[in-house]
Amino acid sequence: MPANVVVPEVGESIVDARVAKWLKKEGDAVNVGEPLVELETDKIDLEVAAPQGGVLSKISHGDGADVKVGEVLGVIEEGSAAASARASTAQPPSPAVAPSAATADGGPKLDAAAKTRATPAARNVAQQNDVDLRKVQGSGDAGRVMRRDVEALATKPTPAARVPEPVSRPEGERREERVRMSKRRATIARRLVEAQSTAAMLTTFNEIDMSAVQAVRERHKQAFKERHGIGLGLTSFFVKATVGALREFPRINAEIQGDEMVLKHYYDIGIAVGASEGLVVPVLRDADRLSFAQIEAKVREFAKAADEGTLSLADLKGGTFTITNGGVFGSLFSTPILNPPQVGILGLHAIKDRPMAVGGQVVIRPLMYAALTYDHRIVDGAEAVQFLVRVKQLVEDPGALLIE
């Protein structure tokens, strides 16, 4: 009996997806539970497995197609020796590459690369760097090729490599390229515009002396790593300071619903993480209950999952406040944009040695500009300024975080 392959329900906030890549073609024999197709949503990438064994008799939506939850992607007919024989003679459709092109480029080579288990992010990096996925040793589950595996091979120097001569642009050439936005990038674009058109955003700034935090990290980094197996970074200090400040200014940990303010007396802190397809914001649940070590471990886990494209919907749902750190990319000063429906986001920046006055003397200190963007509809300017000052006080006196 035929079985439909459908777009699964991933979460209540995800209603559509895009077909990133079919791992099988029409006529292929498949086993129950075997990955058939990779889908790309605005939050996560996922594989859809075969609901039964048999032959993939029909692909309803090819690579690049936009589909809705519950929509039929393809059909599997129950397998048999006869069905398998028919499958071997079936002509597979090729949504992205014409049969003649595949033959010219070596059809078997393309088929082998397509069958290699790899995340969508890994395939994108492989395509951009002209890396043959068949030659990449996967480090993911069941040997799945991850983005980091492709990047490691792409950056590996070639013996006796020669630096290519720069290619000059021909006179008069004005080449353009059209690249379709990924589902996630399109959603990011839409949400950023929505944030600017619906919230009354305003940003306040301050400067934080990082001397005390750097001294604490230097004194305790070895013991911390030996005890917890992870380095003591900056994120945990700012998460702790943020939670302390949110307790004093609860409206910055709220959201607007109609004509009501929903004040949240729990602290789910979103940590913005860069990924190949755009920024993602996994959430530290109950951050007020986490230790420094637990925060650092969770943030590292998020960063790894974002790099591999394996963040789950549960990792990304909710959040009462967000912290973003443009400093890791070298940003000195910026105005972060709210992550709706949140009404506050803290932006961190690069730490630079700069002169400052201390006790009537000019001294050089490691300083960081911090920015708080807030929704002026429910957060007053004085309240926002005081919140950021409190964050500054707690970071500049790390011992106070123990009291908090």
List active site positions: 376, 380
Q: How far apart are CA 74 and CA 76, in angstroms?
A: 7
How far apart CA 191 and CA 364 sit, in angstroms, is 41
State both tokens at 117. 């288990």
Rounded Cα gap, residues 325 and 270, in angstroms: 12
Give the closest residue to 247 by CA, choosing from 397, 367, 387: 387
CB 121 within 8 A of CB 275: yes
The CA distance from 311 to 35, in Å, is: 18
Cα 204 off chain centre by: 27
Rounded CA-CA distance 280/44 in Å is 9
- Which of 303, 268, 281 lies closest to 191 in space, CA to CA? 281
Tell me the residue type at 288. D
For the chain, the first-to-last Cα distance in angstroms comes to 62
Alpha-carbon distance of 51 to 70, in angstroms, equals 14
Gyration radius from the chain CA atoms: 26
What is the Cα–Cα distance from 183 to 187, expressed in whole angstroms? 6
CA distances from 175 to 20, 168, 181 (A): 27, 13, 19
- Strand runs labelled E in 220-336: 254-257, 260-263, 269-271, 283-284, 321-325
